Amino acid sequence: MKSFDLTGRTALVTGTSRGLGARFALTLAEAGADIIGTSRNVAAMEDIRGQVEALGRKFFPVALDVGSFESIQSAVREMRNHTARIDILVNNAGCNVRKPATQITWDDWNLVVDTNLRGTFFVAQQVAAEFMIPAGYGRIINIGSVTSVAGYAGLAPYCASRGGTKQLTMSLADDWGVHGITVNCLAPGWFKTAQNAVMYEDKEWVEYLSDRIPLKRPGQTGDLDGPLVFLASEESRYMTGQLLLIDGGISTGATRAVPKK
Distance CA 12, CA 61 (A): 10
Q: How many helices (H) and strands (E) does the chain have?
A: 9, 7
Residue 160, Cβ neighbours under 10 Å: how many?
A: 17
- 65 vs 15, 56, 94, 136, CA distance in Å? 9, 28, 10, 27
To the query of whether residue 158 is one of the catalytic residues in this protein, the response is: yes
How far apart CA 146 and CA 108 sit, in angstroms, is 21
- Evaluate the CA torsion angle 260, 153, 246, 72 in order and state its sign: negative
Q: How many other CB atoms are there within 10 angstroms of residue 249's CB atom?
A: 14
The residue annotated as part of the active site, out of 152, 158, 200, 238, is 158
Q: Nearest 5 degrees, angle CA 220-CA 147-CA 117?
A: 105
Catalytic residue numbers read 158
